[in-house]
């Protein structure tokens, strides 16, 4: 049975996730994700030079985000809000391009992200 996501758990996740990204620490970033994670983002096609809308698996996600970090040395996220659901968290944040981003994380029974969807303003 999944543990409900309360406000405290959501905020703890948000702080740790933001810190890992802003420190550019790929291992800490990926520690939040299940091995079989699926990540959806319109940025994947741009970064990978393909028509892909998603990346599946932690190894593929590592490759994608490693390239993204290399190409964006100015990357920084500023948390705007944390929204909770029964089995998901949505983080609203502003990125280094001053875009508003809504990223939703769905969790597995072990508390790891099993699926994530990023949407940009």
pLDDT at res. 46: 76
pLDDT at res. 20: 97
45 has pLDDT over 90: no
1 has pLDDT over 50: no
How many residues belong to the chain?
121
3 has pLDDT over 70: no
Q: 50 falls in which pLDDT band (50, 70, 90)? A: confident
String of DSSP letters for the chain: -PPP--HHHHHHHHHHHHHHHHTT-HHHHHTTEEEEEEEE-THHHHHHTS---EEESHHHHHHHHHHHHHH-TT---EEEEEEE-SSEEEEEEE-TTS-EEEEEEEE-TTSSEEEEEEEE-
Provide the whole-model pTM. 0.91
Phi, psi of 19 (to 5 degrees): -60, -45
Mean of the per-residue pLDDT values for the chain?
A: 92
């Amino acid at each position: 049975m999944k543990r409900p996501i309360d406000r405290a758990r959501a905020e703890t996740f948000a702080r740790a996730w933001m810190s890992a990204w802003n420190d550019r620490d790929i291992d800490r970033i990926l520690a939040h994700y299940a091995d079989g994670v699926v990540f959806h983002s319109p940025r994947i096609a741009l970064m990978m030079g393909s028509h892909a809308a998603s990346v599946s698996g932690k190894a593929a996600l590592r490759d994608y985000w490693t390239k993204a970090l290399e190409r964006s040395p100015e990357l920084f996220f500023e948390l705007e809000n944390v929204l909770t659901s029964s089995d998901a968290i949505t983080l609203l944040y502003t990125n280094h391009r001053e875009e508003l981003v809504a990223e939703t994380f769905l969790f597995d029974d072990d508390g790891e992200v099993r699926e994530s969807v990023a949407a940009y303003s």
